[in-house]
Amino acid sequence: MFTKAPLIPLLLAAGTALAQNSVVIPNGYENAPGPSAFIGPLHGDPRTNQFIIRESQLTAIVGQDITAIAFRLPASATSDWPIVEVTYFSYDILLSDGVNPSSRQFDFFANVVGPQDLVRTGPLVVTPFSFTTGGAPNDFGPEIELNEPWHYAGGNLVVEVLHTGHDQGFRNNDAVGTSEPGYLTEFANIWQGTGPSPVQGNFSIIKLITDGATCPPDLNGDGVVDADDFFLFLQLFADGDPRADFNNDGVIDADDFFAFLNAFAAGC
């Protein structure tokens, strides 16, 4: 006998979707098309692309788990893509901390700081006409989901995308050129195809999607609520830092202290 139980996962899924958050890099291009295009993360030939992103571009998602990335077609594209189903034999994504874009080298390993985590691997299938045109900017294409969420605790970020290409040939995407403001200070790209070493390239406009979940008492955004957060709160409180206004009423007072204590005790 059927019951209404299957509705519950649906409702939960809807709730998760509503909580989603995202950031578009470079900042400022969420609602504006890029001035350039790039033949990289969507192209038919194998490519490795490394996005080197300064922390100032990522303040909207500090303390959140990245769950997917997305790209979009350039404003110059005249027809939706792909016209038949496209399969990348392998589409890998690696995430890590990184150097400042101004310090980037033409060396994938040199730009990574700390461990580099393989957060997605395996084939990627792109549904026909799922990347649309006619917008300024165009809508982002389907989210390329990570196999597992990756906690962004702050700092510079390196997103590396390696793919084996597909049999549908040319495909560029919306991008920002190397002479635009912010390139090499706020963001940078190196890439490699069949050449002997990585070279500089336009920065593909990339959307990072998170689960939107934040943990207010995790003040330092490292994914755990512990004594470090407690002492950080005391410091912020003593300094009159706006982040100490824990109940967001515009005043820093004892109410914030108790609100923090309660959230701290509750954990996340």
Q: Name the residues that contact Ca ion, by CB under 5 A.
A: 218, 220, 222, 229, 245, 247, 249, 251, 256
Residue 98 neighbours by CB under 8 Å, 6+ apart:
52, 53, 111, 112, 113, 155, 156, 157, 158
For 230, which DSSP code?
Answer: H
> Closer to Ca ion at the Cβ: 180 or 256?
256
What's the CA gap between 200 and 57, in Å, rounded?
20
Q: Least distance in Å: CB of 259 to Ca ion?
A: 7
- Choice between 32 and 153, CB closer to Ca ion: 153
Pull the structure tokens for residue 74. Answer: 């350039």
Exposed (0-12), middle (13-18) or buried (19+): which is 113, by Cβ within 10 Å? middle
Decide whether 174 or 256 has the Cβ nearer to Ca ion.
256
Residue that is written with structure tokens 């990335």 in the block: 69
Distances (CA, A) of 137 to 24, 29, 86, 188, 254: 12, 8, 23, 21, 47
Nearer to Ca ion, 87 or 247 (CB): 247
Which two three-digit tokens encode residue 161? 């995308």
Residue 248 CB, shortest distance to Ca ion, in Å, is: 7
Residue 4 is classified by DSSP as S
Minimum distance, C-beta of residue 226 to Ca ion, in the bound complex (Å): 6
- C-beta closer to Ca ion: residue 17 or 227: 227
Distance, CA of 219 to CA of 243 (rounded, Å) = 9
The answer to whether residues 256 and 245 touch, using CB atoms and an 8 Å cutoff, is yes
If the CB atoms of residues 134 and 267 are measured against Ca ion, the closer one turns out to be 267
Q: Note the residue count of the chain.
A: 268
